Each structure stands twice: as structure tokens, then as C-alpha cells.
Structure 1
Amino acid sequence: MKFTRSLSRRAALGGLLAASAAGAADAQQWRPPRSMNWLVPFPPGGSNDLFARPVAAQVSQRFGKPVVVENRSGAGGTLGGMVVARARPDGCTLLVANSGQSFATVVYAESGFDLVRDFAPVSNIAKVPVGLVVNPAKLDVKDLAAFIAAARKAPDSINIGSSGLGTMPHLAIELLQRRTGIKLTHVPYRGGGPALQDLLAGQLDATFQPLSTVASYVQSGRLRALAVATTKRESMLPAVPTFAEAGVKDFEVSTWYGLFAPRATPAVPLDALHAAVQAALAEPEIKRIWQEQGASVDLESRQAFGDFVKAEVERWSAIARTIGLPME
């Protein structure tokens, strides 16, 4: 009996290994049946474009098929998302999403799609760290502890800008208030650029900004970075502590970018696309561009990327609901 069970287990294991090997071989041999269309759900020239186009060019070379990067903007990126969610699941129509889509169903009640329910993760593309910066001429605090102390001493006295209602910087502000118990005055702008300009002009006390955007101002002394919202210090501003080092635990915020396919897309094209994108991300030219933008990327499995996205959706959707979203 024991001998029979042992044979059965070996046979089952052999079958799994064979199936795995066959799946890997199929993924290596898969080629898009037609030209590919990657939808960027924002206007041309934005960060989604910046990270999508170099990767698309590399993937096109690997598959020998054109990859057209198309901008389909509207409703905070939800219109392009709906197009891809309803597309033919053959691996040829993909969505270039960012962290903002992780809570789109809360911010936009009629978004029409859910990033976890309606999409299959293909690959991560880039991650851009953000930090809390202040204008020292307007708010002379030396570190995060002093910032928190000032906010506690005079609630709502610190004006902190964001790139708009329902954006990732807005939710980062809300997360900071929840983690520390302070009260800040949120000033929403139509984009991170105008908020940064008002910070430099002394119209704001603080903002959350991508580190690549503010690094030169911090180095020149015009701005002061209090903390970076990453798990470890960033090379472009190595003297700036993480939030955890500065005393605020569980505070990780980044703008991330990834590639998604319609949920019903089979595993073989998903695996082939994932391999092609990961190979592109390892290219020296891609690494150079990413470094210039202050971006990083960890080469990881589809499963790991999917788990990350699911956790992001759960975390930010919960925060969005607590601050009175959705927005009509």
C-alpha cells in the first residue's frame, strides 16, 4: 500500500513538473497574433508615457510585432481602463496603469472596472518614490518630528498641497494624518507642478512630491526634505531618513506603473509578455532612463506583482472611503 501511494505521488509530481515545463515552453514560443496596442489612460507627455514607450519599443523588437502606445484619456484614467477591460483577451490589448487606478473604483463611482477583478497583472514597470518636503523659509522645521510637533501645537495651521482631490498625494496626506493624529489644511491643485511652484513661492508650507522632481531644490537649500516614503533611503537624497526612521511606521507611498491585460487572457500569453517586459527592464538603456527619472524597478514574478497590486487596492481604497470619497 505504501509503495503504491509513493508511486502515485511520484507520478503526480512528475505530471506537475511536465505541465510546468510545457507551460514554460509554450510561453517561450508564443507570439502576438497581430500588432499590440498598449493604452495609456492619460494625455500624451505624462509619466505613464515616459515609462511605457521605452519598454514597448523593446517588447516590439523581441516579438517582431508593432507595439502601438495609444493615449486614451478621461475621467482620471478610467476611460482607457474600461476599453482594455472589455477588449479581446488575446494578449494584444494592454493597459499601462499607475497607482492612481488602484483606488479608481472609490474615487470614481462610475469607473466601470476594478483593477483586481477585471484585469490580469502582466508586469511591473517602474516605481517612483515620494517624499514630504517643506519650504524652510515658510515653515522652518528641521525634521519630521518638528513638523508633527508644530502641527499638534496649532492644528490646521500647516497648508499642505496635493496634485488634486482623490490623487495619490492627497491620500498620502490623509495617511500621514491618520498615522500621527495631526490635522493639516489640504490645498488641492490641478497637478503636482502647480503645487510645487506655489511651495517654492512660499504660498504653501509643504507637499508630497516625487523625489526626482524636488532633489535639485533640496540640494540647493530652497526646499527641505523631511522624510522619504520608502523602506530604505534613496540614493539621490541619502541624508534624508525614511518615515520609519523618523518615527512614523507603516508609511510607504510611491507612484508605481504596471502593465495589465483583460482578466480572461490565458496564462501562456501572460507569461510570454511578462518575460518580454522583464527582459526589457534589464536592458542598460532602460536602466539609464529610469535612473534619470529617479525610478526603480524590482524584477519579480507575475504572482508577486499581482499580490502587490491587490494589497495596494485594499489599502488605498480603505483610506479613500474614510475621507469621504467617491467624487462625482
Structure 2
Amino acid sequence: MRREDSLGRRRFLLGAAAAAAGAATGLAAPAAHADEYPSKPIRLILPNSPGSSVDKVSRVLATPLGMALGQPVVVENLPGSGGLIGMQQLLRAPKDGYTIGIVSSNYSVGPYLYDLPYDSLKDITPVSILVSGPFVLLVSPKIPARTLAEFIALAKSRPADATLTFGSPGVGTSFHLSGELLNVTAGTRLLHVPYKMINNYVTDLVGGQLDSGFLTANVAAPLIKAGKLRPLAVTTPTRSRLLPDVPTIAESGYPDFNVDGWQGLIVAAGTPRAIAEKLNAEMNRALRMPDVVKVIEDDGHRIVGGSLADAADWFARDFDRIGKLAKAIGLKPE
């Protein structure tokens, strides 16, 4: 056998042994991908419609994240079926960090509304919680209550055939769950009126066809300023920077009340940890950029950030909280 053939055979056998060891441990291929990541554009899937809050935050962050990573981050809206379409695209893609996603707080509700073909916690890896923000409990000016305590007292005083109503843009939305949590926490019997379109919901709330409802702070602020709706409280433990004079439900006598609208960056489970860590680190940098901070805070959000462990804990807590509320109100998958 020639020396060249012998050396070639040796290299082949060594390479085969290394590949076998890598396959057995599952470590070799991810390490190689992590070292070179990213070497091509990244697809950012949003299971939300263009123009939504998630869409706005994602587009604000996509450019600085792409600059930090050295590759474009291309936003792709894939709404429909309660987020199912976008999530299936994310989970079916190769687990190499080139398909990532951003989901909102409604993601935690999915398992309690639909029979999903995936496990909402086990099949994803949370990378970073990006932003969080409160909802505002609002009443029509026709309602005499000016504080949360007065509103709750009024609701409890109503007979069963004249129950106060609260609206939402659909069952399982954060606006709906905020009202149901208030019912559970305060012992009220507010009647939920679901809408299919958020514009119709807002129109009827402003028009007084609904007694009350919840909106995001940035949507609520101009309606409050115009005198079209009256704010009673916000749903997070801290006040909104857009509405600093509006108390929280927690400080109004219900200290455990907390519902927030958050958004988080995720990848499919099985994505190499080194890639998830790189995405986390660069997203944290993007979240600290002054231009990004201004846009996000002016829109009523609070920047969160943090580590992979922080993100995983956030998801776990939110799923646990929503699960308990879903059980209390009898919310079941269809």
C-alpha cells in the first residue's frame, strides 16, 4: 500500500471515529454550527399580523439584532389559527438558529384553547423576554364609578339580569383573561362579551355599548385624554409610564393581581445552546440601544432582557399562572 493511501485511510478512520463519537453524544455538529453562526440571513417568524404590537417591536429590534450578528434578520408574518401556522413553520425548520420566532403573552394561553400538535413549553427554548407592558381597565363615561373600589362595589350591587359587561377581542386574549382574573380576584360577576375584531370591540367600548374593558396603555392614552374612556387601574404591579396617575389593581387592594402583555424571543428545542446564548447576548445589546429604548418606552412597554434562565423562568411562571386561571374559569381546548 502506498504511503499516501495509508495516510488517507488513517484520516478517514479518524474522521469516522470522531463522527461516531459526535453522533453518540450529540455534541459535535452543534459545536461546529455554533462556531460559524451566523453565516447567512436569519428568518424571524411572527405568528401575528402586520401592524400588531408584536410586529412593531420585532421590526424595531430586527435591524440592530442583524447588525450585531452580521447577517440580516428578515421578519416574516405568518398569522392564523391562533399562532399555529407560524409555530409549525418554526418547529419544522432545521434546529440551527436560522429560523427564530417572537411570541406574545397569548402564547401561554394556546394549550388551554386548542389541541396543539406540539408542546408549547417542551418544544421551544425561550431565548429572551423582550418587553412587558400593562393593560388598562377602562369604563364608559356612562358608568359612575371613578375608582376600582367603586366599580367593584357597583358590579356587586347589580342583580343577575343587569350584570355589568366587559368586552374583549376574543376568548383567551389577554384582555379577556384580565377581566376573568378580576372576577376571580374581586368576586365580581362581570359578563364577558367577546368580539371577533379588535376594532369593533374598541368602537363599542368607546360608544358605551360595553360597560368596561381592557386596552394596552398606548391605545388607551389618547382615548383617555379625549375624555372618551375613564381609566380605573392598570394590570401590572407597577404603574405605566404613559399613565403615571392611574393606580395599579395591586395597589388598589388586590396585591397578587398581575397581567402583562409581554413578548419573547424563542427558538425550537434542540437548537445548540451556544447559538441560543449568542442570540440572547446580542438581543440584550439591541434592547439597550438608545433609539430602541426610546421607541419601545414611548409605546408604553418596559424593556426586560435577561439571561436564558430568566426567560425560561418567565415562560414557566406565565404558563402556571394561566393554567390556574383557565381551570378556575373552565377554559378548555376546543
Residue 79 of structure 1 is aligned with which of 81, 85, 95?
Answer: 85
Q: 1:30 to 1:314 in 2, by over 3 A?
A: farther
Gap regions ≥5 residues in structure 1 = 1-25
**TM superposition shift of 1:27:** 11
Paired residue for 2:53? 47
Give secondary structure in 2 for the equivalent of 1:45. Answer: coil
Residue 140 of structure 1 is aligned with which of 140, 144, 149?
Answer: 144
Q: CA-to-partner distance for each residue in 1:154-208, whole Å, 9 max, x for gaps? A: 1552111011112111111111110011101111112433222111111111101
Q: State whether residues 155 and 184 of structure 1, in contact with CA within 8 Å, keep that contact through their aligned partners in structure 2.
A: no
Paired residue for 2:221? 215
Amino acid at match of 2:154: A
Q: State whether residues 135 and 259 of structure 2, in contact with CA within 8 Å, keep that contact through their aligned partners in structure 1.
A: yes
Q: State whether residues 200 and 223 of structure 1, in contact with CA within 8 Å, keep that contact through their aligned partners in structure 2.
A: yes
Paired residue for 2:230? 224
Q: State whether residues 107 and 320 of structure 1, in contact with CA within 8 Å, keep that contact through their aligned partners in structure 2.
A: no
Q: CA-to-partner distance for each residue in 1:112-137, whole Å, 9 max, x for gaps? A: 2233211101111221211101012x
Gap regions ≥5 residues in structure 2 = 1-31
Give secondary structure in 2 for the equivalent of 1:39. Answer: strand
**TM superposition shift of 1:29:** 6.2
**TM superposition shift of 1:317:** 2.4
Paired residue for 1:151? 155
Give secondary structure in 2 for the equivalent of 1:291. Answer: helix
Q: CA-to-partner distance for each residue in 1:218-275, whole Å, 9 max, x for gaps? A: 2333211111111122222111111111112211111111110011111110110001
Q: 1:79 to 1:152 in 2, by over 3 A?
A: same
The number of residue pairs the alignment matches comes to: 301
Q: State whether residues 132 and 228 of structure 1, in contact with CA within 8 Å, keep that contact through their aligned partners in structure 2.
A: yes
**TM superposition shift of 1:38:** 0.8
Amino acid at match of 1:148: I
Aligned-pair identity (%): 35
Q: State whether residues 240 and 300 of structure 2, in contact with CA within 8 Å, keep that contact through their aligned partners in structure 1.
A: no
Q: Distance in 2 between matches of 1:262 and 1:145?
A: 44
Amino acid at match of 1:60: G
Moved over 3 A (4+): 26-30
Residue 117 of structure 1 is aligned with which of 103, 109, 122?
Answer: 122
Give the alignment's Cα RMSD to 1 decimal: 1.8
Q: Bigger CA drift: 315-324 or 229-238? A: 315-324
Give secondary structure in 2 for the equivalent of 1:78. Answer: helix
Q: State whether residues 34 and 272 of structure 2, in contact with CA within 8 Å, keep that contact through their aligned partners in structure 1.
A: no
TM norm structure 1: 0.87
**TM superposition shift of 1:104:** 0.5
Q: 1:86 to 1:317 in 2, by over 3 A?
A: farther
TM norm structure 2: 0.85
Paired residue for 1:291? 297
Q: Distance in 2 between matches of 1:180 and 1:198?
A: 25
Q: CA-to-partner distance for each residue in 1:89-142, whole Å, 9 max, x for gaps? A: 111111210110112011112x22233211101111221211101012x21101
Q: State whether residues 121 and 305 of structure 1, in contact with CA within 8 Å, keep that contact through their aligned partners in structure 2.
A: yes
Paired residue for 1:8? none
